[in-house]
Amino acid sequence: MKNEYIPQLSTIREVIRHTALEYTFRMEYKGEVKPGQFFEISIPKYGEAPISVSGIGEDTVDFTIRRVGKVTNEVFESYAGEQLFIRGPYGNGFDIENYRDRELVIIAGGTGVSPVRGIIQYFAQHPEEAVSTTLIAGFKSPEDVLFKEDFEFWKKHINVIKTVDKAPEDYEGPIGMVTKYIPDLKFKNPKQAVFVCVGPPVMIRFTIAEIKKLGIEDEQIWTSYERKMCCGLGKCGHCRINEKYVCLDGPVFNYAEAKNLMD
């Protein structure tokens, strides 16, 4: 019987630098993975950190990591050819079937682009499988933009609004919060529209408030609550909200359920 607590060694195939603080680690992994799921990445003597899947390849999985603490600081000392411990995937992830043949809008803020990157990539590669796909992605500044090469590909296949909170005077491109661009969204059939919203809690709250002004129902919205996920197995209780365990029942929730999860 497999012990779910025991991690496996994974070799880093490639390291992609996005900003001074955010890198993507492409690591060896064989198995089924869904966008929105997460793994526990660990280093002996330093601990574990839950990291969302930001890409799924052939026998590889991507983790886009921000250098913010003891474990992630140590991870940044590991580069291509070296190894890290991983265990997972955990959580439910995003189900592509919920968005197929619909008018899909993905709204993400900052590192929130990472867990939805798999959905964006799928519909950019298969645009015919959705009535339409729109991405609204917001970053603090042009220097904080992640996945620059991906954005160039996505713009060729889906509608993309990449906005920044602030920029130099000579900057060419959208400026402002993601909420600025929601009122301009138009749908052939609003009842068939679906939204995915991921980012900081404050951004999610104000974004969903704007989405609701369009007449969108709670059941048409999905979000991700990535909070205090430690064991990944629903045993430690750190991520429990009411009767839900984010690591098991989430981190992806339909908003009809998510709106009642009071932390």
Query: Which are the contacts of 173, defined by CB distance < 8 A and separation ≥ 6?
Result: 142, 162, 163, 164, 167
The residue written with tokens 């909200």 in the block is 241
Does 230 carry a binding-site annotation?
A: no
The residue written with tokens 């990472």 in the block is 114
Do 210 and 138 meet the contact criterion of CB atoms below 8 Å apart?
no
Query: Which residue blocks in 168-200 are alpha helix, DSSP H?
Result: none
∠ CA 260-219-215, rounded to 5°: 105
Query: Which are the contacts of 236, defined by CB distance < 8 A and separation ≥ 6?
Result: 230
Q: Tell the burial category of 85 from Cβ atoms under 10 Å away from its Cβ (0-12, 13-18, 19+).
A: middle
CA 134, CA 137: separation in Å to the nearest integer? 10
CA 204, CA 152: separation in Å to the nearest integer? 25
Residue type, 158: I
CA 255, CA 1: separation in Å to the nearest integer? 36
Does 197 carry a binding-site annotation?
A: no
Residue of 140, 132, 134 whose CA lies nearest to 109 = 140
| Region for 6 from its dihedrals, namely left if φ exceeds 0, alpha if ψ lies in -120 to 50, beta otherwise | beta
**Per the annotation, where are the binding residues?**
231, 236, 239, 247
Binding residues for [2Fe-2S] cluster: 231, 236, 239, 247
